[in-house]
Structure 1
């Protein structure tokens, strides 16, 4: 689901698009959390669905926790025309993702994605919960592009791409947990 929220910020109008997505896995919450908090999962995920030139830049683990920094790029030829009009070349995206320890069948985390050299950012939270014998991951956030007049159109394009990427990452996670 992609919804919008508009606010005023001085003379620059800032539009943000709300992002909501949920994923379900057929594995118990403990197994999903254990996978998401291992470095090997992230190495495998970036290799399979990270795209051209993707790198895993930093991984910090603790007891049941993880913080990951990665870089991904979208080749210029795959960018929506509205994005190509305001920024030439490949889009480089710096991403972070965190997961906290599992507590009572629930874990929370955060995510960010910033477009290098552009006033575009996606940020939000994620929650991992038990659902029957499986697991549900709920993602909520916002995409924000601070470009007058066309920022909202770019946010829509970015939001759509983020949702497609989340779907690919979900498919990978389901396969990886089953391996």
Structure 2
């Protein structure tokens, strides 16, 4: 079984500005700080036609149900890798190292009338019998909150 999440984020800025923001390490670090992660690192590698963004973060597992806490422990190590093949298109791969699951999907940016919609379309898969589906749902909720945090920080970033 797998869980699919499609989430839209809207910015009052043209696609070029949103793409530049998503490729700015300072923006990515601000998003981590806003989420109060315990530790984080951001790497951006721009090689010709491809930009790779890697965000590694460690979040506290507070507020996670006990059945899931057994799976993740007291901290959640998350590695998010985005391969931007164009300014408006990326492949997304998120892992929790050492845990049996991953998120695979895409990020797309579409501009309409000077506003840009960022669409994250991801499939969450946890390879655990009996509780995998419940953990996928929990991860989907956490991802929605992380994307909402990105949107909040991004609106401030683009207005300044």
Structure 1-normalised TM-score?
A: 0.80
Consecutive unaligned residues in structure 2, runs of 5 or more = none
Q: For residue 70 of structure 2, what is the aligned residue in structure 1?
A: 85
What's the CA shift for 1:177? 1.2
Q: For residue 160 of structure 1, what is the aligned residue in structure 2?
A: 141
Consecutive unaligned residues in structure 1, runs of 5 or more = 1-14
Q: Determine whether 1:150 maps to 2:112.
A: no
- The answer on whether the counterparts of 2:34 and 2:149 sit within 8 Å (CA) in structure 1 is no
**In structure 2, distance between residues paired with 1:88 and 1:94:** 16
> CA 1:176–1:28 in structure 2 vs 1: closer, same or farther (change >3 Å)?
same
- The answer on whether the counterparts of 1:63 and 1:101 sit within 8 Å (CA) in structure 2 is no
- Give the alignment's Cα RMSD to 1 decimal: 1.9
Q: Determine whether 1:34 maps to 2:14.
A: no
**In structure 2, distance between residues paired with 1:95 and 1:85:** 22
Q: For residue 8 of structure 1, what is the aligned residue in structure 2?
A: none
- The answer on whether the counterparts of 2:23 and 2:53 sit within 8 Å (CA) in structure 1 is no
* Secondary structure at 1:157 match in 2: helix
Matches within 5 A, 1:74-113: 74-102=59-87, 107-113=88-94
What's the CA shift for 1:36? 1.9
- The answer on whether the counterparts of 1:21 and 1:163 sit within 8 Å (CA) in structure 2 is yes
Relative CO higher for 1 or 2, CA cutoff 8 Å, sep ≥ 6? Answer: 2
